[in-house]
Structure formats: structure tokens, C-alpha cells
Structure 1
Amino acid sequence: MAIMKGNAPKTIPAKLEIVGGGETNTLSLTFHNRKPSEFQAKLDELKDSKDPFLPSMVLFVTQAWESDYSLSLEGVQEMEDERPGICDAILQGFHKVRRVALEGN
């Protein structure tokens, strides 16, 4: 299949293996396929905001997830409070699944 302009998927399903705090979990979620320019614009917007940075970025890149935590600012903050570092792990997962890679050759 040829790579066509404007034909990138709008969302990206992912399963993140989360390890830490004495547990191993899989977080199934769907990311918005945000462009780097959109990501940077959100970063710039949050510089002047009182909203918590990492939870806000998680909400910006995540469309849906399979979790008892609500996909809201409060839910993300509660998840981070119980599992410190999970916001960073989710953002790392976003960048990892969004990147293309050469296979073969």
C-alpha cells in the first residue's frame, strides 16, 4: 500500500505493559493520532495554565481506555496518585506507537 497524504489513521489502538509498584498490568487504550505540531501547541498552551501538566497531556492524547479510572482529569490524577509514574508511561507509549519503523530490508 502506498503512503498517501492525509491518509494516516485518526486513532491508534495500543496495549501498554505497565510494570512497577509490585504489579504488572496491561492498559488497553486508544490514542488520538496527534501530530507533533498539535502536541507542541498543547505544550505551549499548558505553560500558562493552572491545570496539572502530565494528566492534561494524557487526556490530550488518549481517546479511550479500559480502566476503572475515569478518563477525566480527576481520574488520571487518581491513577497517578495510586501508581506514580503512570502518566509518563502513557505518554511514552503514545510516542512509541505513533513512530513509524522500518521492517525488513
Structure 2
Amino acid sequence: MRRDVFQAIADPTRREIINMIAFKSMNVNSVSENFDVSRAAVYKHLKILTECGLVKIKQKGRERYCEAKLEKLIEVSSWVEQYRKLWTGRLDSLDNYLTDLQIKAKQDGK
């Protein structure tokens, strides 16, 4: 089953894994030590992140290292951006309306 990036970031554990490895790769054991769940559960989260293209697992000797591939988060950013524009426009309209009301109230008070 092909998963998308939205499924990956829907879970707080997966978001925390992404935060942990965003700036430096970590071995799988080091990642799993940071959670109060079984190592198998962390592996399942890593598998989902890998399927979504947000994590790449690299073998280095006997160790497996997790490396973040954050380019896929552009999909999320683009999706959110459309709503940011919408709400920015609405809030700007509200600000203009309130400013007009204040101006009218000052003029009526003179």
C-alpha cells in the first residue's frame, strides 16, 4: 500500500522521529531508545515514514541509520499555503472593516 506524507505526519510519534533525525542521522536503536514503546513499534513507525518517502534507512556496517528526507513535506506546505492565503485575506478584510468602524465612530463622536 502506498502511503502519503499526510499519513506520516498524522501520528505524534512519527513527527517526533522526524524532528529527531532532521538535522543528523541516527541509528535505529538510538531512535527507539527515545520512546516508551517497543522497538517493534518504532520499526513500524519507521516503515511508514520510509514508505512515505520521509525517511531513508542506510546500512553502515552492522548499524542501520535513519536519515530524514524532508523534501516530501513540500506537499504539506503547499496544501497549508492555500488556507493561509484564504485566512490572511479574510483577516485583512476584517481588519479593514474594524478600521472603518473606528473611523466612523470617531467622526460621529466629534
Give the alignment's TM-score, normalised by structure 2.
0.28
Higher percent of residues as strand = 1
Structure showing greater radius of gyration is 2
Higher percent of residues as helix = 2
Give the alignment's TM-score, normalised by structure 1.
0.29
